[in-house]
Every structure is written in structure tokens, then in C-alpha cells.
């Protein structure tokens, strides 16, 4: 299904990213903003760093971009000066 394909590709991308950063073969050219939904089934227990700022927002993976949950995400991004 489309959702399964999305999940698989995201997982592959994040796995490659974290390995490259750990091996120091890749340094992001900017700060990565990692917004995870409160209802996420997977939480990465890593602290903020100079390269990654982590936040939790309302909703689940599927609902964090809709309605009131989108306003929560927008508030985080606005606070960072992204929007």
C-alpha cells in the first residue's frame, strides 16, 4: 500500500542519515528540525545537538499535519523562525 511504502522509504532514509552522521561521513548543512507526534509509536531517546532540534507536537504520525494539530506544529516552527 502507499502508506507502507511511505513508512519503508522514510525508515530507510532516516537509517542512512543516522549512520552517516554517526560515522561523520555526512554533516547536515543546516539544523535538522525533528518534530515527532506525541502519539508516535517510535520515540528516539536522543537529546538536542547543534545539528538536531527535537520537538513533540500533538497528534499521531497520520494526524499531526491536520486541524488543531497543524496549529501546534506551526507554533513550534514559528517559534524557531522557520515560518
Q: Give the residue-averaged pLDDT of 54-70.
A: 84
Return the C-alpha torsion angle 47, 51, 56, 60, nearest 10: -120
Q: Does residue 4 carry a pLDDT above 60?
A: yes
pLDDT tens profile 23-60: 888 777 777 788 888 876 555 556 656 677 888 888 88
Q: How confident is the model at residue 78 (pLDDT cuts 50, 70, 90)?
A: very high
Q: Give the residue-averaged pLDDT of 63-80.
A: 87
- What's the burial of 44, exposed, middle or buried (CB within 10 Å: 0-12/13-18/19+)? exposed
Model pTM score: 0.57
Share of the chain above pLDDT 70, in %: 87
Amino acid at each position: 500500500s502507499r502508506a507502507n511504502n511511505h513508512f519503508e522509504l522514510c525508515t530507510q532514509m532516516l537509517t542512512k542519515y543516522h549512520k552517516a552522521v554517526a560515522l561523520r561521513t555526512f554533516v547536515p548543512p543546516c539544523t535538522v528540525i525533528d518534530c515527532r507526534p506525541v502519539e508516535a509509536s517510535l520515540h528516539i531517546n536522543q537529546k538536542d545537538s547543534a545539528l538536531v532540534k527535537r520537538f513533540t507536537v500533538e497528534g499521531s504520525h497520520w494526524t499531526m499535519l491536520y486541524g488543531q494539530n497543524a496549529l501546534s506544529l506551526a507554533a513550534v516552527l514559528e517559534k524557531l523562525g522557520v515560518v
